[in-house]
Each structure stands twice: as structure tokens, then as C-alpha cells.
Homo-oligomer: A and B are copies of this chain.
Amino acid sequence: MKTLRDIGEDALIARLVGLVPRDENPAAGPGDDCAVIGFGHSLLLLKTDALVEHIHFLPSAPARAVGWKAAARVVSDFAAMGGNPAHFLVTLALPPETDVAWVEDLYRGIGDCLEKFGGVLAGGETSSIPTGSAAVISIAATGNVRPEHLVLRSTAKLGDALFVTGLLGGSIHGKHLDFSPRLTESTWLVSHFKPTAMMDLSDGIAKDLPRLAAASGCGFSVDHSALPITPGCTPAQALGDGEDYEILFAIEASRVPELLAAWPFVDIPLTRIGELVEAENSDELSGGWEHFRGDA
């Protein structure tokens, strides 16, 4: 018997997607931040994301922060496509002894995020789970994106420059509960310097950058001395901690000086960290969050 721990998340997903019907002509292939559905003259984004007690938050975490995180992770994925959040469905699987006030605070946190970044509650589902089981908060949402603003992971080109927003590493010390999804920044990017590829960093750049490069049929080269590291963190933590919720994107190298001069977000670092190279010349990175093989 092979267990999920044996094969890990990526191999699991690769096995599963062949077992059910899929769209024969999707606007974006599998493995991007969101699903993209053509719908009349605009594009519908779909995303689902789950927080699990003990894995993504501790029982002692403030419920309002957990709610913020649950919604903000989804907003971060819409940002990573160049789009905006729209309609949210909230699924709660909670044990019967859960304090109602805790659940209300969770919803207040979801509300805080939707009020800041847009989006409305469209529905949801609640279910009991056996006493002692980990609580699960799953949020599914629609977003929308103008077709000319849509940015996939798979469309970067050899030689493109690689950038990240913000600082990397150490999210577990607090940022993972109160991060600001880079929606304003991504909206500015797709309007002014449309990236050739883009994704949000959830599993650590050591895990996520190879995904973007591979989706685009490239390898990557990273300038380790340039990595924007959270003060107090090691380079290994910056590469592998995960839950940064910063934006990683590629852009034509010729546009770099103009981009750096125009970047209007003075409080958000924008750092060139490397470039896309031939796959056979790629750097390798170790670390990053692996579902089913982590501490839990």
C-alpha cells in the first residue's frame, strides 16, 4: 500500500486529475493559481483553499486572524492571475463543542478581508466533525479578470527577469495570520508592466519557483545574494519557510529598468532575484512545504 505520505501532494494530484472529466479546451491548464473559465466576454476565476487546525493555524490563534488568513489566501491567488475576488463560499467543518463566539470572530476576519479587497459572501456550508478532529475551514470563490490582464504561470520566456515582492521567510512568526495579499500591486503590474508569468508564493520559493519555471518550459537561475530576506531569518528559511504570500513574476529583461523606476509602492520591496534559463542549466533549490510530508 502506498500512502499519501509516501507520494506527496504533486504526485497525488498528477494521479487524480486523470480520473475525472476535465474541460477539453481550458483557458488555463491545470496547476495554475486559479481555474480560468471563459464566460461570455470576460473570464471567471475559480479557486478553493482550505485551512486545517494544527496544520495552518493553532487552536490558540485568534479566530479573527484565522478568518482573515482563510480569505486572504484566496485573494492572493486571484491577485496572482491578474484578477479580483468576487463571490465567496465558506465551508466550516467544526466539532459541536466549538464556541459560537469563535466562529463569529472567524467570520469577522473573513469580512475584514472582503471589505478591504472586495468580494462578497455568496453562500456556504457547515458540518459537524467528530469531537477531537481538526477543524477545517474551506473557502471557494469566484473572481474575475479582464482577458488582457490574465497572467498564467506557463507563459514566461527564456531570459525573462524574475522578481518577488516583499520579504521572504519567517511567516510562521506572525505574518501568516495577518499578511496583506498583493492585490493592489498585481493590479498595478498587469495594467502597467504585464508580467509574462506570475504566481503567489505559498509553499516557499524553493518549491514555487521551480513550478513556475517548469510550467513555462524553462529552468531558473537564482542570485542568492539578492534574495530579500526577512530580518532574523536565514537564507534557508527565506527559501523554504513558505506562507510568504508574496508575488513571484517574470518580465522581459528589457523592461526591468523602467519597472524599477516606476514601482509606486514605497513600502513594498521589489527585488530582482534571477532569471529564466534553459531547463538543462537550471539551479536546484531544496526546501519548501510539502503537504502530507510535513511535521503534521
Contacts and interface: CB of A to CB of B under 8 A. Distances in A.
Interface stretch (A126-134, A178-186, A223-231): A126-134
Contacts of A133: 52, 129, 132-134
Contacts of A7: 100
Contact of A123 (B30, B101, B293): B30
Contacts of A50: 91, 93, 125, 127, 136, 138
Interface string A118-150: 011111111111101110101010100000000
Interface string A1-26: 11111110100110111011111001
A55 interface: yes
A7 B108 CA distance: 19
Interface stretch (A109-117, A214-222, A241-249, A260-268): A109-117
A46 B151 CA distance: 24
Contacts of A257: none
Interface stretch (A32-40, A160-168, A188-196, A273-281): A32-40
Contacts of A104: 15-16, 19
Interface residues of A, number: 85
A96 to B, nearest CB: 4
A258 interface: no
A100 B136 contact: no
A89 interface: yes
Contacts of A15: 100, 104
Contacts of A39: 39-40, 44
A211 interface: no
A47 interface: yes
A255 interface: no
Nearest to A108: B19
Interface in A248-296: 291-294, 296
Greatest chain B CB density within 10 A among A1, A30, A93, A108 is at A93
Contact of A4 (B41, B55, B97, B125): B97
Interface of A: 1-7, 9, 12-13, 15-17, 19-23, 26, 30, 34-35, 37, 39-42, 44, 46-50, 52-56, 86-91, 93-101, 103-104, 107-108, 110-111, 114-115, 119-130, 132-134, 136, 138, 140, 142, 291-294, 296
24 contacts: A3-B98, A4-B98, A12-B126, A15-B104, A17-B121, A19-B104, A20-B110, A22-B120, A22-B122, A37-B86, A37-B87, A37-B142, A46-B122, A48-B124, A54-B130, A55-B127, A56-B127, A91-B138, A93-B134, A128-B294, A129-B136, A129-B296, A130-B134, A138-B140
